[in-house]
Amino acid sequence: MNANKKAPYTPLKVSKKVIKEALITEQPKRGVLYELLMLEAVKIGKSEITGAMEVSGVFQKSDEPNANRRVYPSEYLNREFKRLKEACKARSLFGELDHPWFPDEGEAAIVHAKETSHIITDLWNEGSIYYGKLELLDTPNGLIAQEIISKKCQIGVSSRSLGGVRQGANGFSYVDDTLKILTWDIVIGPSVVESKLQEVRALKEWQELSASILKEQDSQAKDDIRKDIRTIIRDQILG
């Protein structure tokens, strides 16, 4: 064999698991997860079924950090949205007004009838952006929400979930495959706008970290790496 002959280039294959493991520094911690997201791309209309006020917009995002610096992998959100679509069809996925806080997982799984404000009637995604549609009820809390929305006030949606979280580098963390989304609640107040500002800051740091990780890769493999950058970042952050 010619000693000067270069070995054929083999593209660097990086799985989502590899990136995730590279960034993990602690074992998963299970508990109740709340993620407040300022409702974006809002559309207000009327239900074709009941004539009630409907609101739709962005409910969740995958593969990038939210305001709490948590990353929700797309495979888990896809699974949960598919599961909950059945509840949407049955008009059985209810949410509450305000940001409830529960002492344990059992209590978090309960949506109290007297606190309900809306029904979530549809869920779908376009790439890494996950949308939802909710119908406002004529309950006391639902009427309050309708009044707030009709006055064009900013509202947010807060996902209520159970699941494990693995802490990683730079304060980022990843939700693991035990994720179980329970519902989305309507939230108002200064925390809604603040959550958006925190999300923007976290995303900027995330993008800088992504660029740094890419620079450390073999130049020959950059094209392959860029195709799966989310996976690479996850493994690097989680260590």
For 239, other C-beta atoms within 10 Å of its C-beta total: 15
Indicate if the pLDDT at residue 53 is higher than 90.
yes
pLDDT of residue 169: 79
Mean pLDDT, rounded, for 60-89: 95
Mean pLDDT of 73-82: 96
Does 156 map to a domain?
yes
> In the prediction, which pLDDT does 60 show?
95
The arithmetic mean of pLDDT across residues 11-18, rounded, is 43
Q: In the structure encoding, which two tokens stand for residue 175, read together?
A: 């939700």
- CA of 186: how far to CAs of 14, 115, 116, 136, 177, in Å? 39, 11, 10, 10, 25
- Residue 210 is part of which domain span? 28-238
Q: Are 213 and 232 in contact (CB under 8 A)?
A: yes
Does residue 57 sit within a domain?
Answer: yes
1: in domain: no
- Detail the DSSP E strand segments found in the chain: 29-38, 43-46, 53-61, 70-71, 94-96, 116-126, 129-136, 156-167, 173-175, 180-187
User: How confident is the model over 187-216, as a mean pLDDT?
Assistant: 84
**Residue 160 maps to a domain:** yes
Select from 73, 66, 62, 60 the least CA-distant residue to 24.
73
**Is residue 80 scored above 60 in pLDDT?**
yes
Task: Identify whether the C-beta of residue 179 lies closer than 8 Å to the C-beta of residue 62.
Answer: no
Q: Give the total number of structural domains in the chain.
A: 1
Q: Is residue 4 part of a domain?
A: no
The whole model's pTM is what? Answer: 0.80
In a domain, 6, yes or no: no
Q: Determine, yes or no, domain membership for 110.
A: yes
pLDDT band at residue 41 under the 50/70/90 scheme: confident
Which range is most confident: 5-9, 11-15, 60-64, 233-237?
Answer: 60-64
Q: Using one digit for the tens of pLDDT, what is the confidence trace for 83-117?
A: 999 999 999 999 999 877 776 777 888 889 999 99
Asked whether residue 19 is domain-assigned, the answer is no
Q: What is the pLDDT of residues 162-193, one digit of tens each?
A: 999 998 878 899 999 999 999 999 998 877 88
Residue 105 is encoded by which pair of tokens? 């997982």
CA distances to 186, 194, 214 from 100, rounded to whole Å, are 10, 18, 40
- Is the model more confident about 44 or about 209? 44
Residue 12 predicted with pLDDT over 60 = no
Indicate whether 210 pLDDT > 60: yes
